[in-house]
Amino acid sequence: MNTEDYETEGVTKLPLWQNAVDEMIETGIDYGKVYPAEFFEKHLKCDRNTMSFGLGVSHIRRSLEDLGYYLTGRGQKGDQFVIVENTSNQGVGNCYMRRARDCFDRAFTLLVNTKQEGMTVEEKRRHDATAEKVAIRRALLNIKLKEARRIVKPPQKALE
């Protein structure tokens, strides 16, 4: 018997956020569905105004992304969360791409402007290696799509 499947009165499966995801799936998750904040407070066993709550919701959001759903609390005044419509996922994906590009730009700026005085030879080597990786990945992000299509095949939808 798998110990993760063993549940009795008063025993809670960990991680807590997975219990919320499991219930969402069992009760029928769908685009446009609204979940009150209390649903997540119950499963995460913490108040919505805590860091633990935010981290838990972040884990739930990532897990739902694996299923093609995006959970947002934006515009809900902290009282509820919504699975955005499938037509909104494209916008979420674009936002993620902008953030990724911004993060690589910021990492590049930080690393190329870091003063290396006081660093050991090994610390300088690691710093320079990281700067090189960031520069290469940043350059790849900035390749024009026409050129990138020659290098990379588009992702195929998972077989169902």
> Distance between CA 73 and CA 83 in Å, rounded?
9
| pLDDT the model gives residue 81 | 96
Q: Is the pLDDT of residue 93 over 80?
A: yes
Q: Is the pLDDT of residue 32 over 60?
A: yes
pLDDT of residue 159: 53
pLDDT recorded at residue 75: 65
Q: pLDDT (tens digit, 9 = 90+) per residue, 52-67? A: 999 999 999 999 999 9
**pLDDT-wise least confident of 39-43, 89-93, 112-116, 143-147:** 143-147
- Section 90-102 average pLDDT: 96
The token pair at 77 is: 């005044």
Give me the pLDDT at residue 2, please: 41
Distance CA 41, CA 17 (A): 10
Other Cβ atoms within 10 Å of 13 Cβ, number: 13
CB-CB contact of 111 with 127 (8 Å) = yes
